[in-house]
A and B are shown apart, each in its own frame.
Chain A
Amino acid sequence: MKTILKGGYVLLLGILISCGGKEEKKQDGFQVERQKTTQKATQKVETETTKASERIDLENKGVGPITSVDLSTDIDQALVAEGKAAYDQLCLACHRVGKKFIGPAPDGILKRRSPEWIMNMILNPEGMVKEDPLAKDLFMEFNGSPMANQGLSEEQARAVLEYFRTL
């Protein structure tokens, strides 16, 4: 019995070694699966349009309580400070400036989204993921990780938006 088991291990080990040692011998970990997924991903990107996070849609206002936002030409610095404080407390755990994290980075977001869409995403993430096609695609792009409703007031969300204008 023991011998058979041992034999089995040796066989298994043999397969593992042959797989892992295929290309880069020095690299850690288990390579076969990774290669496959990379290949698939490349194919997908080729067949689909731009990634949801890179798509530009300034017309879409999203789904939620915000139907119009007036942005003054000058940035309100007091509001920015307020927005940054709320962002650091309620958003930073998933959104990092200049870096894709759990969710997308907020910098340059106003070049890709309408202010209303941004605020609705903050205030109504559950509804957005269900009903807004772009939010739905983002949800899939970001690993199926749902954006949490952090219970911001409309005023707080507006302040966060002002902060985003500075990024």
Chain B
Amino acid sequence: MFAVAAVTMFLIGCNQQGKDSNGALSSSAAEKVYVAPGEHDEFYAFISGGFSGQMSVYGLPSGRLFKVIPVFSQDAEKAWGYNEETKPMLNTSHGFVPWDDAHHPDISQTNGELDGRFVFINGNNTPRIAKVDLSVFETTEIIEIPNSAGNHSSAFVTENTEYVVAGTRFSVPIPQRDMPIKEYKGNFKGSLSFISVDPEDGGMDLSFQILMPGFDYDLAHPGRGASHGWMFFSTYNSEESHTLMEVNASQNDKDFIAAVNWKKAEEYIKEGKFRTMPANYAHNVYDESTHTATSTMKKEVRILDAAELPGLVYLLPTPKSPHGCDVDPTGEYIVGNGKLSSDLTVHSFTKMIDAIENERFDGEAYGIPILSFEDVLAGSVKQAGLGPLHTEFDGKGNGYTTFFISSEVVKWKVGTWEVVDRQPCYYSVGHLMIPGGNSRKPFGKYVVAMNKITKDRYLPTGPEVTQSAQLYDISGEKMELLLDFPTVGEPHYAAGIAADIVKERSKKIYSLEENKHKYATTSDADVRVERNGKEVHVYMTMIRSHFNPDNIEGIKVGDKVYFHVTNLEQDYDVPHGVSMIGANTSELLIMPGQTETFVWEPKQVGVWPFYCTDFCSALHQEMQGYVRVSPASSDLDLSWSLGED
């Protein structure tokens, strides 16, 4: 008893001391992340969902979750990949693939600054690049990448979003063929894909691929300013090993950063120095006016062979299996985060150009010149920590690097390479994000650390725990840990932007007048049910708080019933849902002015209800209807009604 009292006293004493030591001038961490009820966050953060195949949208500094955007994964909540309109989005050359491993979001840029139009993100597993349109916060385009495997050094945009690049992680036989795995060396190839983005409508097109040696291509970043026109890719497994990689791919003292001159590539394309290779890859586009996606199989791709085309690619030796490959806001420095090293290697773009012009090469790999390490080195951040992974910049002359093994963020000065601060991460940080950190103009106010291990940071939820992110204030000389917040899936990367750039463009409703869906019913006068053999199409509308029709008869067992449902609301934030008992799919969640379709194949005779799944009004509970299902042999004609006795 006495002991308890003593401990209590001690604790109270500590608390008071803690309060005092904060000082009157420094505001508390809680105040810095507090966004009062009804107020908005200053930044959007788009955080990849990793193996969830999704991307989540958070507010900073509050760490509040706003939306989970389905990209490569089916999402029953939004019917993404379940309704007839979005199923084609997940089509690939391997058929319908309802999952992927989404890693690296990157926001579109104009003149090297974030413009807030699109977020691009890669699917690793079945190589794909997706585009999320920030006017609707939905995935509107997905392009499959042929000749690629483990699409990891992706989806990074160039300074004017001329291209989104996607590099293969795993090298493979190109084109794919039946061959012994042991013959990897010299026979397997990597590919670096350049997907052009239409400046007007944002449409993506696989413009060309650069054929590369059979290394693993890990991450990438664009040149900017003087280095605009170049793209830098980190590589590992320059050993070209195919088994026991954790040992065999770490033998070389140095791997490479591959510097790709894509302006040169454009010249070669113009001169016709490409070869056209047969291919088979899906290009899926969601049309906002028809509310419907189409999938087109593309049949060829233009290939530029780095071994045969001088001046296209140079290799910059970089210790040791570099992961992050990061370019500072000026475009002069290219940072190699050698994950098995304790140093960061910084290359100079000016020195690189100088070495190229003077042809100071140390050798070549499969016809690609290797520059001398010393010739291109700008400096290194020495003994900064263990296991550097990724660096971003604050635009005020500082770099911030994550160290996985020593579990910390380290701040260092660009140019002098001195370490100025370090803060621990809980635990084992992977990537980090400063809003605008991959652009000419970072918003150097916060850094988000995305940790790989969570352990005890939150209440336990069984063996599987949430993912852990941490927010630091980087506005001062010293970093300050402000907030822990949980994240969805396994974030690998994130992109952030000032909310002001995005929010004004955010769409509130879909205009009924502009609804060009093939099965839209934009006026209640057009509501109907049509039979075509065993196929039945229900042209249905919904508005607070009824469906039209809400009674349907004449459906038979064995029919395939398409419910094409249009939400007639034209007011912000009045979606309706619809679900049918026993339908082998998800509900639909239909935004104002939008049309969506689900299929129901009734298997049992009876009268079956459907209802609105999204609370829409005081009479939401009344928003329901019935379908009468007769035996297959029935000759009952189709009929439908609303409000008839």
Asked if residues B512 and A88 are in contact (CB atoms below 8 Å), the reply is no
Taken together as a complex, chains A and B put the C-alpha atoms of A89 and B515 apart, in Å, by 11
Q: Which of chain B's residues have a CB closer than 8 A to the CB of A146?
A: 544, 617-618
Given the contacts A90-B512, A90-B568, A101-B643, A148 and B543 also touching, CB distance less than 8 Å: yes
- Within 8 Å of chain A (Cβ to Cβ): is B548? yes
B522 at the A/B interface (Cβ < 8 Å)?
Answer: yes
* Set of chain A residues within 8 Å of B512, measured between Cβ atoms: 89-90
Per-residue interface assignment for chain B, residues 509 to 530, with 1 indicating a CB less than 8 Å from any chain A CB and 0 otherwise: 1001100000000111100000
Provide the residues of chain A in CB contact with B618, threshold 8 Å.
Answer: 144-146
Whether B571 contacts A94 by the Cβ 8 Å rule is no
| CB <8 Å contact, A88 and B571 | no
Q: Bound complex: CA of A149 vs CA of B568, how far in Å?
A: 11
A93 at the interface (CB under 8 A from B): yes
B545 on the A face (CB < 8 A): yes
Q: B571 near A148 (CB under 8 angstroms)?
A: yes
Residue B570 at the A interface, CB < 8 A?
A: yes
- Within 8 Å CB of A143, what residues of B? 619
A88 and B543 form a contact (CB under 8 A):
no
Do A93 and B617 touch (CB < 8 A)?
no
Q: Do the beta carbons of A88 and B523 come within 8 Å of each other?
A: yes
Contact string, A129-167, partner B, CB cutoff 8 A, digits 1/0? 000000000000001111011111000000000000000
| Interface membership of A92, Cβ < 8 A | yes
Give residues of chain A (11-30) contacting chain B, Cβ–Cβ below 8 Å.
none
Give A107 Cβ to nearest chain B Cβ, in Å: 17
Does B490 sit within 8 A of A, measured CB to CB? no
Which chain B residues (540-557) contact chain A, with CB distance < 8 Å? 541, 543-546, 548
Contact partner of A93 among B541, B571, B619, CB < 8 A?
Answer: B541
Q: Of B545, B570, B617, B643, which one neighbours A90 at CB under 8 angstroms?
A: B570
Contact residues in B for A102 (Cβ distance below 8 Å):
546
Residue pair B643, A93 in contact (C-beta under 8 Å): no
Residue interface mask B621-645, A partner, CB < 8 A = 1: 0000000000000000000000100
Q: How far is the CB of B515 from chain A (nearest CB, A)?
A: 10
Q: Tell me if A's interface is mostly helix, strand, loop or mixed.
A: loop
B261 shortest CB reach to chain A, Å: 51
Docked-complex contact B513 and A151, CB < 8 angstroms = no
Residue B574, interface by CB 8 Å? yes
The residue in chain A whose Cβ has the minimal distance to the Cβ of B545 is A145
Instruction: Check A151 against B509 for contact (C-beta < 8 Å).
Output: yes
Whether a CB of chain A sits under 8 angstroms from the CB of B569 is: yes
State how many angstroms separate the Cβ of B121 from the closest Cβ of chain A: 32
CA A151 to CA B619, docked complex, whole Å: 21
Interchain nearest-CB distance for B324 vs A (Å): 47
Residues in A whose Cβ lies below 8 Å from that of B568 = 89-90, 93, 150
Which of chain B's residues has its CB closest to A143's CB?
B619
CA distance A143 to B621 in the complex (A): 13
Which residues of chain A have C-beta atoms less than 8 A from B525's C-beta? 88, 92
Which chain A residues border B643 with CB–CB below 8 Å?
101
Contact B523 A92 (CB under 8 A): yes
Chain A residues touching B, range:
10 to 19
Number of interface residues of B (CB under 8 A): 22
The answer on a CB contact under 8 Å between A150 and B571 is yes
Residue interface bits B564-579, CB-to-A below 8 A is 1, else 0: 0000111100100000
Find out whether the CB atom of A89 lies under 8 angstroms from the CB atom of B522: yes
Query: B interface, by DSSP: helix, strand, loop or mixed?
Result: loop
Tell me, in angstroms, the Cα distance from A150 to B322 when the chains sit together: 56
Please judge, given known A-B contacts A93-B541, A93-B548, A145-B619, whether A150 and B523 are in contact too, CB under 8 Å: no
- Tell me which residues across on chain B come within 8 A of A93, comparing CB atoms: 524, 541, 543, 546, 548, 568
How far is A66 from B544 in the complex, measured between Cα atoms in Å? 25
From residue B540, how far is it (CB to closest CB) to chain A in Å? 11
- State the CA gap A151–B567 with chains docked (Å): 14
Instruction: Report Cα–Cα, A88/B541, bound state, in Å.
Output: 13
A89 and B523 form a contact (CB under 8 A): yes
Nearest CB of chain B from residue A150's CB, rounded to whole Å: 4
Is there contact, CB below 8 Å, between A144 and B509? no
Residues 83-104 (chain A) with a chain B CB within 8 angstroms: 88-90, 92-94, 101-102
Q: Is the CB of A148 within 8 A of B524?
A: no
- Give B542's nearest chain A residue, CB to CB: A93
B571 touching A144 by the CB < 8 A rule?
A: no
CB contacts (< 8 Å) of A148 on chain B: these are 543-544, 569-571, 574
Q: When chains A and B are docked, how far (Å) is the Cα of A148 from the Cα of B616? A: 11
Chain B residue at minimal CB-CB distance from A145: B619
Complex: A102 Cα to B542 Cα, angstroms: 13
Q: How far, in angstroms, from A90 to B544 measured CA to CA in the complex?
A: 12
Complex alpha-carbon distance, A89 and B543, angstroms: 12
**Distance, CA A89 to CA B592, complexed state (A):** 13
* A88 CA / B571 CA spacing, docked (Å): 17
Residues of B within 8 A of A151 (CB): 509, 570-571
Residues facing A in B580-626 (CB within 8 A) are 617-619
The answer for the CA separation of A101 and B644 in the assembled complex, in Å, is: 11
Q: Is the CB of B544 within 8 A of A145?
A: yes
- B523 touching A94 by the CB < 8 A rule? no
- Contact yes or no, B619 A144, CB < 8 A: yes
Q: 0/1 per residue, A20-53, Cβ < 8 Å to B? A: 0000000000000000000000000000000000
Q: What's the nearest-Cβ distance from chain A to residue B640, in Å? A: 15
Q: B543–A94 contact, CB under 8 A?
A: yes
CA distance A101 to B545 in the complex (A): 12
Q: Which residues of B contact A92 (CB under 8 A)?
A: 523-525
Bound-state CA distance A90–B522 (Å) is 8
Closest A residue, CB atoms, query B513: A89
Closest to B643 in A: A101
Quote the shortest CB–CB distance from B85 to chain A (angstroms). 21
B residues less than 8 Å from A149 (CB atoms): 570-571
CA distance A90 to B574 in the complex (A): 14
Residue on B nearest A144 in the bound complex, by CB: B618
Query: Closest CB-CB distance, B517 to chain A, in whole Å?
Result: 14
Give CA–CA (A94, B525) in the complex, Å: 11
Nearest neighbor of B541 in chain A, beta-carbon distance: A93
A167 to chain B, nearest CB (A): 15
Closest to B574 in A: A148
Residue of B nearest to A88 (CB): B523
A145 to B522, CA, bound (A): 21
B524 contact set on A, CB distance < 8 A: 88, 92-93
* Residue in chain B with minimal CB distance to A151: B570
Most A Cβ at <10 Å: residue of B509, B546, B568, B617: B568
14 other A-B residue contacts (CB within 8 Å) besides A90-B512, A102-B546, A148-B569: A88-B525, A89-B568, A92-B523, A94-B543, A143-B619, A145-B544, A145-B617, A145-B618, A146-B544, A148-B543, A149-B571, A150-B569, A150-B570, A151-B509
10 closest residue pairs by CB, A with B: A151-B570, A92-B524, A93-B543, A150-B570, A88-B523, A93-B524, A149-B571, A89-B523, A93-B568, A148-B544
Q: Can you show 13 pairs from A to B with CB atoms below 8 A apart?
A: A89-B512, A89-B523, A90-B568, A92-B523, A92-B524, A93-B548, A94-B543, A101-B643, A143-B619, A145-B618, A145-B619, A146-B617, A149-B571
The chain A residues found within 8 Å of chain B, CB to CB, are 88-90, 92-94, 101-102, 143-146, 148-152
